[in-house]
Amino acid sequence: MRSHFRTALGAAALVTLAGCQTLGGGGSTLTMVETDPAGALVKVEGFGECEAPCTIELDAARNITIAKAGYNTQRFVLLPGKRKVAVVLQLSAPTTGVGKTELPDL
């Protein structure tokens, strides 16, 4: 039970922290990468890219970059052995309290 909690806690750290992180560990595996919102570019350094949600095969530690227009880019090291990675993207310039009356006329 504690093992699952630590794994969930580690995944939560990935989602909330910016910068370079390391996730996973083990042999060659297929890893599902999901982003919220969907449609982010997932780039595996030196191997290609895909649009999330997508599945990538990892046989060694790989630098991963996840980017979407309007959101902060996230970079981390992903190790084989991780079956699923869910990344919540943060707006690069979040706004609050924008109502219809504050929008310009078109």
Polymer length in residues for the chain: 106
Q: Domain spanning 2-92 has what CATH number? A: 2.60.40
Domain ranges of the chain: 2-92
Give 102's DSSP letter.
Answer: G
pLDDT digits (tens, 9 = 90+) for 23-36: 444 457 899 999 99
Which H/E stretch holds residue 66? strand 62-67
With CA atoms as reference, report the closest residue to 39 among 61, 10, 13, 71.
71
pLDDT digits (tens, 9 = 90+) for 33-86: 999 999 999 999 988 999 999 999 988 899 999 999 999 999 999 988 889 999
Distances, alpha carbon 42 to alpha carbons 16, 22, 45, 104, in Å = 18, 16, 10, 34
Looking at per-residue confidence, does 20 or 60 come out higher?
A: 60
